[in-house]
Structure 1
Amino acid sequence: MDWDKLRIFHAVADAGSLTHAGDVLHLSQSAVSRQIRALEDSLGTTLFHRHARGLILTEQGELLFEATSSMVRKLDTTAARIRDSEEGVFGELKVTTTTGFGTLWLVPRLAKLYDRYPDLKIDLMLEERVLDLPMREADVAIRMKEPNQQDLIRRRLLNIRMRLYATPEYLERAGTPERVEDMGAHRLICQNPQTPQVSSGAVLSQMVLAQNMKSTLMVNNYFGVLQAVLSHVGIGVLPDYLSVDFPNLIRVLPDIQSGEVPVFLAFPEELRTSRRVAAFRDFVLEEIQSLRRQQTEEEIANPSVD
């Protein structure tokens, strides 16, 4: 098959329109249409259903689009490897992690990474859904559990725990609970236990909510929980790594915490030699080591019962 016609077919299938594909390819609509008709003639089949609102792939068109999508991913990977073989770290890197870890820990540290690699372009996707790394939905993932997909290189970064935190201002006004039963007199800020989140956090929230809470604030991500805590709204369920960046937060009921949550960094085996992936991995590992040192120093200065 003609590679140029396949490239044009892929653009049309992706855009769902001859006009939009022409804009992407810098070709006229008539030129795109001629190439699609020629491809259909060479294959002896119809690739698109045509109607007033655009184009829809036929069953045969879907088969071809699946093949061209695979070709595009492989070409993108090859192009990335070629670029990475040159000196320097630059180009696009697709990173995915959870909304909480991304907004609370990763994003505040990215300025240092950009200082080191100013030509790097990061596409950061924050969501609870686990993206498919082998299918290149992302290049690198930081996940709150060990990935189970095949052909992934994975590295355990750290273990985190969910704990209870509040501001000195809130505790001065509302009092400091001495036992978990005292939590009923306070306002708990947490994610709804039924929303997607690390299971340990949901378990801790359910345990505290069982204390007949008089008032609660449910937020669908930990960034919102943190903002409410910092605004002295109540006592929040938050990951322990925040104690380093927000040293003024006071840990409430230090003998209560969630089970350990493992944090893994993973990327496809085929990106093992990528300079961008290596640069990002090494940067994250350096920051994690710094976090561990600070947490150790904090534990020594403020010992508590685990």
Structure 2
Amino acid sequence: MDWDKLRIFHAVADAGSLTHAGDKLNLSQSAVSRQIRGLEEQLNTNLFHRHARGLILTEQGELLFDATSAMAKRLDAAAARIRDSEEEVFGELRVTTTTGFGTLWLAPRLPKLYEQYPDLKVDLMLEERVLDLPMREADVAIRMKEPSQADLIRKRLMTVRMGIYASPEYLEKHGTPKRMEDMADHRLICQNTDSDQVGAGLQLVKELMMYDLRSLLTVNNYFGVLQGVVHHLGLGVLPNYLIQDFPHIVHVMPDIESADVPVYLAYPEELRQSKRVAAFKDFVQEEIITYRKQWRERTEGEG
């Protein structure tokens, strides 16, 4: 199929007028009309209904316009990536991560990224579903396990553990548990065992639920669990990366934690030269260094 004819068809369908499309393409109305007729002959169908007020797509024209629209978006994205590899950091960057990590760790730090790159447009997609990076459902992913998809560049960022946390106000009113058996005197706040969560966190929740809990509040993400903790509802199972931004909450029974949860950053091999991806990766790694430093200072101070 003639690419030039498709380009002209897309412009006409978008403008709804031969004249307006011709102005946009720097072609005469007759030249645009000839190309459209040639495409219709090639496809053996009518692509437009001709009306006095303009052109309206036929059903077949709608199908072709959907295809040329998708092509135009892919071409624009490719052109942006090409410019991105040669020029300054700008344009859209689609980042996917879990709801908990995205809302509680990444989003509060994004102002620093925008200070450095004010023309960057971040589309933050928060969900537990693992998006397909090679199929370009997202540009960059931060996940709580090593990505298994092929053709990805992956970087291990840090290790997280799930622990039990509470507000000072809650502990003052209900007492501080010293051992697992003490959970029977408290309300547990955690993710439901049927919700998507990291395996290590799920295992810790299942162990805690084996005890005769006085009360239980389940939420489907860590943001909700944190809200329960800071509002003094009970003991919450939370990732330890929260300590830096919520230093007032207390780590209860610190010897009881989940196994290590690795945090990975990944992106497609084809974006290796992308300045947007490089800028985001460098930003996250710098924030991780700061996080680790503050974590060491806190743990040394507690020791």
- 2:120 pairs with 1:120: yes
The amino acid that maps onto 2:81 is A
Matches within 5 A, 1:277-292: 277-292=277-292
The amino acid that maps onto 1:146 is E
Matches within 5 A, 1:210-289: 210-289=210-289
Residues 81, 273 of structure 1: 8 Å contact kept: no
- Tell me: CA distance 1:37–1:187, structure 2 relative to 1, closer, same or farther (3 Å): farther
Tell me the SS of whatever aligns to 1:244.
coil
| Structure 2: tracts of 5 or more residues without a match | 22-32, 48-56
The amino acid that maps onto 2:230 is L
Partner of 2:30: none
- Measure the CA separation in 2 of the matches of 1:156 and 1:9: 47
Matches within 5 A, 1:182-221: 182-221=182-221
Shift of 1:252: 0.7
Partner of 1:81: 82
Shift of 1:216: 0.8
- Measure the CA separation in 1 of the matches of 2:225 and 2:36: 52
| Structure 1: tracts of 5 or more residues without a match | 12-20, 48-53
- Measure the CA separation in 2 of the matches of 1:277 and 1:96: 13
- Measure the CA separation in 1 of the matches of 2:104 and 2:218: 18
- Tell me: CA distance 1:207–1:28, structure 2 relative to 1, closer, same or farther (3 Å): farther
Matches within 5 A, 1:40-189: 41-43=41-43, 65=67, 69=70, 72-73=73-74, 76-86=77-87, 88-189=88-189
Residues 166, 229 of structure 2: 8 Å contact kept: yes
Residues 6, 68 of structure 1: 8 Å contact kept: no
- Tell me: CA distance 1:105–1:78, structure 2 relative to 1, closer, same or farther (3 Å): same
- Measure the CA separation in 1 of the matches of 2:261 and 2:194: 18
Partner of 2:16: 27
- Tell me: CA distance 1:249–1:137, structure 2 relative to 1, closer, same or farther (3 Å): same
- Tell me: CA distance 1:228–1:43, structure 2 relative to 1, closer, same or farther (3 Å): same
- Measure the CA separation in 2 of the matches of 1:127 and 1:138: 12
Tell me the SS of whatever aligns to 1:202.
helix
Q: CA RMSD in A?
A: 3.0
Residues 63-119 of structure 1 show CA distances to partners (whole Å, capped at 9, x for unaligned) of x95x98578536513432224412x21111111111000000000000011111111
- Measure the CA separation in 2 of the matches of 1:213 and 1:229: 16
The amino acid that maps onto 1:124 is L
Question: After TM superposition, where is structure 1 displaced by more than 3 Å over at least 4 residues in a row?
Answer: 4-11, 34-41, 43-47, 54-57, 67-75
Residues 194, 202 of structure 1: 8 Å contact kept: no
Partner of 2:29: none
- Tell me: CA distance 1:72–1:145, structure 2 relative to 1, closer, same or farther (3 Å): same
The amino acid that maps onto 1:194 is D
Partner of 2:54: none
Tell me the SS of whatever aligns to 1:136.
coil
Shift of 1:44: 5.2
- Tell me: CA distance 1:257–1:43, structure 2 relative to 1, closer, same or farther (3 Å): same
Aligned residues between the structures:
280
- Measure the CA separation in 2 of the matches of 1:56 and 1:147: 42
The amino acid that maps onto 1:26 is A
Larger radius of gyration: 2
Shift of 1:164: 0.4
- Measure the CA separation in 2 of the matches of 1:268 and 1:10: 30
